[in-house]
Chains A and B, each alone.
Chain A
Amino acid sequence: MADRPAAGNGPPHPTADGPADVSLPTEPRVSDVGPGGGRHVPDPADDEPPPAGPRRLLIAFYAVFALAATARGIVQIGTKFDEAPLAYLLSLFSGIVYLAATVGLVTDRRWSRPLAWGAIGTEMVGVVTIGIASLVDSTAFPHDTVWSRFGSGYGYVPVILPVLGLMWLWQTRGAARAVPADR
């Protein structure tokens, strides 16, 4: 869409890594971007809220895991609950936790961030606890859940995801306080 690689609209990636970019000369073209260029060059001086990008990627992750874990829990409980009730209830529980985290990330209410903190914190504790428990006593978890063995059945994403989520929440904590007017 607004992706013209070598159109010559200033340095394409002013936020590229490396200290060399710190002393960027002032953008000469900022003034004539106006009419046609819908995409405006990210400018450190811009008074914009923190980027929403990482949050949207987290939403993608959490929504997919909410679907995966909830569906898994429902299918397990619906078809073979007696085989391993604890593990299957845990599947459903993890699905609900992912669901809560997703809601917390998607919405922008007063309770959104506390909900996200609570859910992702629970997820962190859960994946570590169940991860250790499933290694120590594998008979207690004969059937895998999303969190068993630190989520090895899901490419270990379940153990990495809460770390990323908590990092994002921590890094954006100040920005969230700045816009309470929207609730």
Chain B
Amino acid sequence: MIQGLAIGVLSAGLLLGAWTGIQASRRRATTDAQMAGAIVLEAALLVQTVIALVRLIGGAPLAESATFVAYSVGILLPLPLGFYLALIERTRWGSLSLCFTAVVVAVMTLRLMQLWQAGGG
């Protein structure tokens, strides 16, 4: 993993969560900008996962590699789900769905960083 990218992803997840959360509190559906934000975040996650797995295969020391791999791959799943739900649900509930999955991504990133640091990487 790369510390800078992980912190960026973490902040972006929280930011998107706050942004869509505010949108939901105003009883609005997600905007195009928010949907684009979700796509950008997902792209960053994909890059992060590839880097992490490549470094893992390259022999980076890791305490719980199975958990780390599960998180690395699993972190790619919530955001597409939230994106899809926000797409078909053009109400505040769609905004809340995207909000929740964005926060989940942020939390999972935090957990990934802990796992990586526990290995001394």
Q: Residues of A with Cβ closer than 8 Å to B?
A: 1-3, 5, 13, 15-16, 39, 51-54, 56-57, 59-61, 63-64, 67-68, 71-72, 74-75, 78-79
Q: How far is it, in angstroms, between the C-alpha of A53 and the C-alpha of B104 when the chains are bound?
A: 20
Chain B 53-64 against A: per-residue CB contact (8 Å), 1 yes, 0 no? 000000000001
Q: How far is it, in angstroms, between the C-alpha of A1 and the C-alpha of B88 when the chains are bound?
A: 12
- Kindly list chain B residues whose C-beta atoms are within 8 Å of the C-beta of A64: 78, 81, 100-101, 104
Partner of B90, one of A2, A13, A67, A68: A2
Is chain A's interface secondary structure helix, strand, loop, or mixed overall? helix
Q: Residues of B with Cβ closer than 8 Å to A?
A: 27-32, 64, 66-67, 70, 74, 77-78, 81-82, 85, 88-94, 96-97, 100-101, 104
CB distance from B33 to the nearest CB of A (A): 10
CB distance from B95 to the nearest CB of A (A): 10
Most chain A CB atoms below 10 A, which of B30, B74, B93: B93
- Kindly list chain B residues whose C-beta atoms are within 8 Å of the C-beta of A1: 29, 31-32, 90
